[in-house]
Amino acid sequence: MRKRTVRNGMRLVMAALILIVLASFYHVQLSDLFSLSLGAESRIYRLGMFWAAAIGGYGVVMAAFGFALSPLKNDAQVRILPVFIGISVLVFLFFYLLTTSMQTPERDEQRPLRPGETITI
63-114 residue pLDDT tens: 999 999 888 888 888 899 999 999 999 999 999 999 988 887 666 555 677 7
Give the predicted TM-score (pTM) of the model. 0.80
CA-wise closest residue to 95 among 27, 21, 15: 21
Is 36 within the bounds of a domain?
Answer: yes
Position 6 scores a pLDDT of 94
- Considering its fold, how many domains does the chain have in total? 1
Is 117 within the bounds of a domain?
Answer: no
Is 62 within the bounds of a domain?
Answer: yes
Cα 98 from Cα 92, distance rounded (Å) = 10
Is 119 within the bounds of a domain?
Answer: no
User: Domain limits at 67?
Assistant: 3-106
Is 83 within the bounds of a domain?
Answer: yes
Cα 94 from Cα 74, distance rounded (Å) = 34
CA-wise closest residue to 26 among 41, 16, 12, 47: 41
